[in-house]
């Protein structure tokens, strides 16, 4: 593989840009928004809640916000598609609006737990009616009189942190979230960019984020960085395919997202990071990578929040590396778009790679170089499982097929075309 590319806009930041712009006053212009299924669902939901959203043909997106507390009750069900981030962050916003809304999603999203956000949001005054296990479809009855809370996250989750902070926007006084392990801080950075008073302090117990409620959020002009979680796929492909050399421009380098780069460097990949800069309050850089023989590593559990979405593709790199790669602290992988821990273990085994799956760990025994392959993989409505196994197929002796490439559209529109442009051809059966 060879060439230079720009990966699609960051999914996490794109959701937040649309949501916070809809809560601001005036116009927000968003360059580089991810135009993937997940984000388009969020755009549609914010429109259904009263924001005006427009896309200039081939150009930036524009949002005319309703002002804090100004969203209006939607006339229909809000279908968040495949997106846990879209659903959970939106529940936070709706919790502190005096309206009733019903959220649903696809088969994958309807199976994912929502109690992690409804519990703190109920403490702030919202009410929820949900299916068994607190799954979607779910009705939220928000309040115009939300109470600020101080909440300690029981799991390291940026989605839960963000839901509480977004609800806290329309509550008087200080909303605090204490996270035992720091997670991606895009919500904090973007709220600050829009004019909110929000700060974080770190002590022995963890990181405490404090938001002053009822700020005046003002429309902004933003550029969304390239998504490091999408960059992960061409990066690993280049690392494992001999002779490859790639440059990825404008990739987000938020320190809570760069765990995969640390792992690949420790495994022996040739990575150079240049032209570090800041865009919309987020660090960005260009990344160059060169193929090199990789070796197995021990990935510390503490690194999980900074690469939580990258374990499936790291496992692919590990399958092509020499020796064992041990990954720990993976319990959260079981409640992503699919149970990613078992999907990866099952898929790698089917491709002839020895793995050990624990309750929250995975060990991959790589043999160095090409893998046997020759398996049909069920993607289980999970874009990252689909892309990971397609990349594994590039390094396999026999073809690897996936049953459904559709979910890739949620985060990486044009994935196959991008890969083909770099010399890695994926074929439709
Ligand atoms: C996200 C946070 C992570 C990540 C997800 C996006 C976000 O989820 O897996 O893809 O945008 O806040 P958790 O917060 O549940 O770990």
pLDDT digit string, tens, across residues 359-382: 999 999 999 989 999 999 999 999
User: How far apart (Å, rounded) are the C-alpha atoms in residues 85 and 400?
Assistant: 30
Is residue 313 situated within a structural domain?
yes
CB 309 less than 6 A from any atom of ligand 1: yes
Q: Which of 142, 175, 209 is the last residue of a domain?
A: 209
Same domain? 282 vs 151: no
Is residue 216 situated within a structural domain?
no
How sure is the predictor about 21, in pLDDT bands with cuts at 50, 70 and 90? very high
CATH assignment of the domain containing 67: 3.65.10.10
User: E strands of 184-339, at which residues?
Assistant: 198-203, 206-212, 221-223, 245-252, 270-279, 282-290, 298-299, 322-328
* Nearest CA owner, ligand 1 atom 5: 85
Q: Which of 177, 209, 241 is the last residue of a domain?
A: 209
Question: Looking at the 3D structure of the chain, how many domains does it have?
Answer: 2
Same domain? 281 vs 193: no
pLDDT tens per residue, range 189-238: 999 999 999 999 998 889 999 999 999 999 999 999 999 999 999 999 99
Distance (Å) from CA 408 to ligand 1 centroid: 17
Mutate to test the pocket of ligand 1, among 19, 87, 159 (most ligand atoms within 8 A of CB): 159
How high is the pLDDT of residue 429?
66
Same domain? 265 vs 157: no
Same domain? 169 vs 252: no
How high is the pLDDT of residue 242?
96
Catalytic residues: 309
Is residue 181 situated within a structural domain?
yes
Is residue 3 situated within a structural domain?
no
Same domain? 334 vs 395: yes
Instruction: Give the mean model confidence (pLDDT) for residues 296-301.
Output: 98
The whole-model pTM stands at: 0.98
Same domain? 236 vs 189: no
Distance (Å) from CA 146 to ligand 1 centroid: 25
Instruction: Give the mean model confidence (pLDDT) for residues 126-133.
Output: 96
Same domain? 200 vs 86: yes
Same domain? 292 vs 394: yes
Same domain? 285 vs 354: yes
3-state secondary structure of 311: helix
Question: Domain range for residue 263?
Answer: 228-421
Same domain? 196 vs 232: no
Same domain? 81 vs 195: yes
Determine phi and psi for 132, rounding to 5 degrees.
Answer: -55, 140
- Max Cα separation, the chain? 61
> Which residue, among 334, 374, 369, 368, has the nearest Cα to 351 in the 3D structure?
374
User: How far apart (Å, rounded) are the C-alpha atoms in residues 303 and 38?
Assistant: 26
Is residue 220 situated within a structural domain?
no
Distance (Å) from CA 183 to ligand 1 centroid: 9
Same domain? 76 vs 136: yes
CA torsion 232-234-239-243 (nearest 10°) is -170
Is residue 2 situated within a structural domain?
no
């Amino acid at each position: 593989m060879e060439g230079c590319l720009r990966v699609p806009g960051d999914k996490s930041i794109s959701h937040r840009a649309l949501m916070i712009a809809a809560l601001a006053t005036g116009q927000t212009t968003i360059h580089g928004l991810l135009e993937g299924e997940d984000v388009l669902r969020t755009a549609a939901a914010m429109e259904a809640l009263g924001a005006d959203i427009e896309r200039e043909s081939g150009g930036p997106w524009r949002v005319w916000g309703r002002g804090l507390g100004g969203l209006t009750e939607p006339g229909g069900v809000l279908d968040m598609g495949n997106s846990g981030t879209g659903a959970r962050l939106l529940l936070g916003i709706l919790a502190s609006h005096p309206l009733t809304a019903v959220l649903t999603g696809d088969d994958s999203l309807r199976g994912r737990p929502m109690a992690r956000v409804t519990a703190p949001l109920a403490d702030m005054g919202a009410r929820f009616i949900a299916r068994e296990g607190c799954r979607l479809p779910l009705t939220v009855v928000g309040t115009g009189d939300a109470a600020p809370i101080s909440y300690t996250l029981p799991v390291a989750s940026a989605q839960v942190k963000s839901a509480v902070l977004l609800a806290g926007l329309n509550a008087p006084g200080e909303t605090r979230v204490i996270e035992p392990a720091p997670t991606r801080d895009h919500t904090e950075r973007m709220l600050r960019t829009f004019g909110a008073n929000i700060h974080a302090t770190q002590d022995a117990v963890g990181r405490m984020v404090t938001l002053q409620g009822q700020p005046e959020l003002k429309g902004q002009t933003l550029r969304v960085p390239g998504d490091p979680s999408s960059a992960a796929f061409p990066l690993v492909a280049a690392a494992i395919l001999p002779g490859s050399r790639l440059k990825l421009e404008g990739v987000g380098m938020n320190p809570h997202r760069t765990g995969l780069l640390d792992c690949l460097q420790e495994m022996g990949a040739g990575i150079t990071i240049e032209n570090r800069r800041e865009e919309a309050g987020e660090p960005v850089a260009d990344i160059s990578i060169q193929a090199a023989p990789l070796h197995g590593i021990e990935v510390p559990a503490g690194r999980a929040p900074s690469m939580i979405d990258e374990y499936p593709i790291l496992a692919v790199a590990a399958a092509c590396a020499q020796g064992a790669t041990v990954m720990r602290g993976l319990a959260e992988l079981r409640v992503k778009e699919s149970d990613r821990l078992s999907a990866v273990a099952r898929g790698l085994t089917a491709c002839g790679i020895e793995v050990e799956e624990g309750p929250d760990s995975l060990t991959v025994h790589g043999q160095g170089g090409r893998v046997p392959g020759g398996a049909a993989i069920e993607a289980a409505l999970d874009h990252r499982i689909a892309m990971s196994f397609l990349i594994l197929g590039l390094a396999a002796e026999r073809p690897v097929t996936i049953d459904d490439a559709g979910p890739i559209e949620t985060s990486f529109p044009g994935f196959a075309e991008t890969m083909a442009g770099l010399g890695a051809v994926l074929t439709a059966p």
